[in-house]
Structure 1
Amino acid sequence: MLIDKVKPDPNLVAVVFGFIGYAAYAAQQVAGFFFGSSRGSDEKTRAMADAVMALGTLS
């Protein structure tokens, strides 16, 4: 078979797999930011707004 005769360059394989690993890591970071810190930031903002409103009603 043709596949048995083709031997890829080990350096090229390392670069390709390195790029795949980098892309997977970047996607994980983007997903973590979007679903993690953004929601937490929204909740924190709401909590701070509620606290300020509560202070305004005490006066």
Structure 2
Amino acid sequence: MTTANEIADKIAAAVKAAAISGAETSIPAFGKFKLKETPERDARNPATGAMIKVR
């Protein structure tokens, strides 16, 4: 018998494999997953006000 944790692990592994290959994965009623490169930018930490770099 397969447990919920095993099913979740298999789904996560399939999404990860698709992302590594550059494919988009869709899970109905949950979301779409695809890796995306974004340029680094400056942002402000709202808690401290310090400027930080984020990707």
TM-score where L is the length of structure 2: 0.37
Structure with the greater alpha carbon radius of gyration? 1
Q: Which structure is higher in helix share?
A: 1
Structure scoring higher RCO (CA < 8 A, sep ≥ 6) equals 2
Q: Which structure is higher in strand share?
A: 2
